[in-house]
Amino acid sequence: MTSIVTYKGNLRTEATHLQSGSKITTDAPKDNAGKGEAFSPTDLVATALGSCMVTIMGILANNEGIDLKEISFEIVKVMDSNPRRISRIEIEIDMKTNFNSHEKRRLENAAINCPVAKSLHPEIEQIINFIYPE
């Protein structure tokens, strides 16, 4: 078992990761009858995509001796209606370090082929931009 989730009322849940005990609270977004005081479940999906990409890049970097250093990313999640669903996830990954063309290609390929990216429905558009220093 991975986690236990408890409905706390008022469109809020609390998920507990069983291995670590860490907790995540979710709240329905304001545009869907919620308070928007925490990540929504669809926010977590979009965030999981970015986190997975960077984690897989880190694994590749460790295995190939690439000094990845610090990376940050910004996420935009776009919702559609009829049915209400995620239609697009845009991620801008700020690499903060310049790499040679071979390293860039390997890192970017690892990111776009991460398990979460491959698990999302193919109708969810994934727009990924890698930003390198000038």
Cα radius of gyration rounded to whole Å, the chain: 17
Query: Domain limits of the chain?
Result: 3-32, 41-131
Q: What is the pLDDT of residues 77-125, one digit of tens each?
A: 999 999 999 999 999 999 999 999 999 999 999 999 999 999 999 999 9
CA distance 97 to 7: 42
pLDDT at position 134 is: 82
User: What superfamily would CATH give domain 41-131?
Assistant: K homology (KH) domain (3.30.300.20)
Q: What is the DSSP string of 69-106?
A: ---EEEEEEEEETTTTEEEEEEEEEE--S---HHHHHH
Write the CA distances from 56 to 21, 80, 114, 124, integer angstroms. 23, 29, 6, 20
**Length of the chain in residues, anyone?**
134
Q: What is the pLDDT of residues 15-61, one digit of tens each?
A: 999 999 999 999 999 999 999 999 999 999 999 999 999 999 999 99
pTM equals 0.94
Residue 128 structure tokens: 């990924």
Please name the residue that has the structure tokens 């930003």.
131
